[in-house]
Amino acid sequence: MQPLSGLEIPDSSLVCKLNKSLYGLKQTSRQWYAKLSDALRSRGYTHSLNDYSLFYRKKESSIVFIVAYIDDIFLTGTDIEEINNLKEFLHNQFKIKDLGKLHYFLGMEILCTAMGVIISQRKFVLDLLKEYQCTQISSFTSPLDATIKLRANEGKLLSDPRSYIKLIGKLNFLTHTRLDIAYGVQHLIQFMQHPREPHMHTAYHILKYLKKDPTLGLLMTSTDDYKVQAFCDSDWATCPDSRKSVIGHIVLLGSSPIIWKSKKQETISLSSVEAEYKSLWKVVEELTWLDRLFGEQLADMLTKDLTGIKHTTLLDKLAVLISPST
């Protein structure tokens, strides 16, 4: 470390000793997370073994959750008194700023209504359209042209691939609330190393689709329906370069989507049946994790409703019943 400007040190052999972690150092996030965890454990909170950003405390019929992302924290639960006491405790420990009711978190806008909670990234979409000068152009009704099959080596290489990488990174962040572009974004991500003009044109196609309705998001309904349903499918040998299949799945809690993904398979499937079972395998992985998460925190409230987990494909209708203990 270099001494601060204007600081006089008579002995040039002396060095600065770091007593406190600063932003930008490699150990900063680790030390902050350890300090926060110790503080919450001292108040009786349990660290989730299935999600390291989640802490919770169950006491009789009440429960309080804490979700931490670096130094951004939000609280929720059924015990208002404990939430207020916890905010006072955290303020005494870390000097926090209470922003009140949750409206904005990690680029996502949260709106509480009588129907439930609406989560969207409206501002992010509008800023994205403005950045790429798409505010005055006509919109599209579909995120991708179904007739186009992009290849890795077709078209002219982009003179500045960083613009493509930046755009795809932002579109990937947008998939946190926009399920409808998940397939298109995963399709474009595979060309990040050597992007070409057709890839960039397709990325702009998604931008024009987003312009149609920037406010579109998720509705987490306020009903007491805790039935878990899972749907998955595969598109066999859809990649024209590698002949790998693309799989996708979505998991619903009641009527609210909580997990979704579209991804190209890592290996080549020799038949459509193999591709379908690989898709089913991936969604069962998600359901197993979800079952552990629910069993860890809400066993008494939710386990009795995890009775039917359904799987369906476009080729056939297959119903699979999985017990909560699976």
Are the C-beta atoms of residues 140 and 208 closer than 8 Å to each other?
A: yes
Domain that holds residue 52: 28-100
Extract the tokens encoding 68: 């931490």
| CA atoms of 78 and 92, how far apart (whole Å) | 23
- pLDDT digits over 106-159, tens only? 888 998 888 889 999 999 999 999 999 888 888 888 888 777 788 989 899 999
The whole-chain average pLDDT of the chain stands at 82
- pLDDT digits over 172-207, tens only? 999 999 999 999 999 999 999 999 999 999 999 999
Q: How confident is the model at residue 294 (pLDDT cuts 50, 70, 90)?
A: confident
Whether residue 228 sits in one domain with residue 203: no
Whether residue 324 lies inside any domain: the answer is: no
Whether residue 207 lies inside any domain: the answer is: yes
Whether residue 16 lies inside any domain: the answer is: no
Task: Count the domains in the chain.
Answer: 3
Extract the tokens encoding 246: 């693309």
Whether residue 218 lies inside any domain: the answer is: no
Q: What are phi and psi of 84, to 5 degrees?
A: -65, -40
- pLDDT digits over 28-69, tens only? 778 888 888 999 999 889 888 888 889 998 887 788 999 988
- pLDDT digits over 217-259, tens only? 999 988 888 888 999 998 898 888 889 999 999 999 888 999 9
Whether residue 168 sits in one domain with residue 248: no
Whether residue 128 sits in one domain with residue 89: no
Whether residue 205 sits in one domain with residue 126: yes
Whether residue 227 sits in one domain with residue 309: yes
Whether residue 168 lies inside any domain: the answer is: yes
List all residues 6 or more positions away from 252 whose beta carbon is below 8 Å from its beta carbon.
228, 229, 230, 231, 258
Element (H, E) at 230: strand 228-235
pTM of the model: 0.77
- Res 8 pLDDT > 90: no
Residue 148's pLDDT is: 79
- Rg, the chain, Cα only: 24
Whether residue 129 sits in one domain with residue 86: no
